[in-house]
Amino acid sequence: MFYHCFNSIPYHKPCPAGLSWSQVQERCVFISTPIEPIEPVEPVEPVEELVNGCSKGNPCQNGGLCEPSGKDDLFCLCTENYYGSRCEHVGEGTDLSVLESIINGNNNNYEHVVENVLSRNNWTDILAVVDVTGSMQPCAAGVYKWMKLSQDKTKNIRYYVFFNDGDDKLNSAKKVGSTGGVYGMSANNLNKVLATMQSAMKNGNGGDIPENDIEAILHGIEMCPTCMDIIHIADNKATPRDLVLLNRVTKPIKVLTCQVDVAGVNPQLLNLADKTGGSLHTLDEDVVNLSAIPVGEKITIGRRTYRRTSSGFVVV
């Protein structure tokens, strides 16, 4: 404040903005504010973007080849005489003698479901999700033979996912959504696709009966979001343990059923196809338009009849 006179009468008046009254100079002066020195800032190291699971190095042992399987996941293609998720075990892993005998032509007792279904349907932009647990060797061999012999058809497959339900993980350690043992590979290199399938088979045979089908399907959709035809080559004798994840599946699933016996198609696989707006395919039949079947109505597949209820299809 400073004194200002008006008609010889002094009164207090504030200094203008930015000025302050100086008792020494008896006038308003500019405020002198010392500038504090700026402390040097430590340089920030650039954050490396994680391109894929192998970008930080190769965790595979014994000469194994690291293959990315998503942004932060990977699997290993092992050299001969090694197996395991990181090629950490010496040996051959799961016995693949059935698969090898079929591939080598010494055993013609394999399932023709895959070649029959894919031959009678003109699907394109295919994501193939394949169960390769132990009991599926005859069907997996059919997949192998079909891939080797049907080049004109295999070009329509863009991505493969092979799953073995946890890489021989203890049953008690299997968690819905993160069981593991899921191997994904782009279809542009057939030799790598075949090696990936064999690695998935060597590293785990499934253990208990329920399997991580939906986890594998979700992984495939994430890796190939533009794939339009999603086919799931499923073990008819095993019910998916992770059906609670089915509401996350955003595309219709075409379920190809292997190992169908006199008991008929597993109704849970029929429901998987139905609830995703997909279809079900056996050796001889293509069951489509499931959503058009009203509650209470029946459908016959093979020698079995199924009735739609409010919660899904059941065997009659």
- Average pLDDT value for residue range 250-257: 96
**Helix (H), strand (E) at residue 116:** helix 113-120
pLDDT at site 242: 95
Beta pairing, strands 229-235 & 19-22:
unpaired
pLDDT at site 46: 38
Q: Report the predicted TM-score, pTM, of the whole model to 2 decimal places.
A: 0.78
Looking at the structure, tell me whether residues 184 and 273 fall in a common domain.
yes
Looking at the structure, tell me whether residues 284 and 167 fall in a common domain.
yes
For 215, the domain range is: 96-315
Residue 61 inside a domain? The answer is: no
Question: What DSSP string describes 224-275?
Answer: -TT--EEEEEEETT--BTTGGGGGG--S-EEEEEES--TT-S-HHHHHHHHH
Residue 277 has pLDDT above 90, yes or no: yes
Structural contact between residues 160 and 140, judged by C-beta atoms closer than 8 angstroms: no
pLDDT at site 31: 59
Residue 271 inside a domain? The answer is: yes
**Bridge partner residues of 161 (DSSP):** 129, 184
Residue 164 has pLDDT above 80, yes or no: yes
Residue 199 inside a domain? The answer is: yes
pLDDT at site 249: 97
Q: Structural domain tally of the chain?
A: 2
What's the pLDDT band for 304 if we cut at 50, 70, 90?
Answer: very high
The residue that leads in pLDDT, 47 or 254, is 254
Looking at the structure, tell me whether residues 9 and 126 fall in a common domain.
no
Residue 176 inside a domain? The answer is: yes
Residue 57 inside a domain? The answer is: no
Burial readout 131-159 (b: 16 or more C-beta within 10 A, e: otherwise):
bbbbbbbbbbbbbbbbbeeeeebbebbbb
pLDDT at site 209: 85
Distance, C-alpha 249 to centroid of its chain: 11
Mean pLDDT of the chain: 83
The residue that leads in pLDDT, 206 or 262, is 262
The residue that leads in pLDDT, 188 or 306, is 306
Summarised one tens digit per residue, pLDDT across range 26-69 is: 676 665 544 445 455 444 343 333 346 787 788 899 999 998 87
Give the rounded percent of residues in the chain with a pLDDT score beyond 90.
43
Looking at the structure, tell me whether residues 17 and 107 fall in a common domain.
no
Looking at the structure, tell me whether residues 221 and 104 fall in a common domain.
yes
What's the pLDDT band for 198 if we cut at 50, 70, 90?
Answer: confident
Summarised one tens digit per residue, pLDDT across range 224-248 is: 999 999 999 999 999 999 999 999 9
What CATH number did the domain enclosing 101 receive?
Answer: 3.40.50
Looking at the structure, tell me whether residues 254 and 146 fall in a common domain.
yes
Looking at the structure, tell me whether residues 177 and 304 fall in a common domain.
yes
Residue 40 inside a domain? The answer is: no
Looking at the structure, tell me whether residues 106 and 184 fall in a common domain.
yes
Looking at the structure, tell me whether residues 152 and 11 fall in a common domain.
no
Q: What six digits make up the tokens of 59?
A: 């965790």
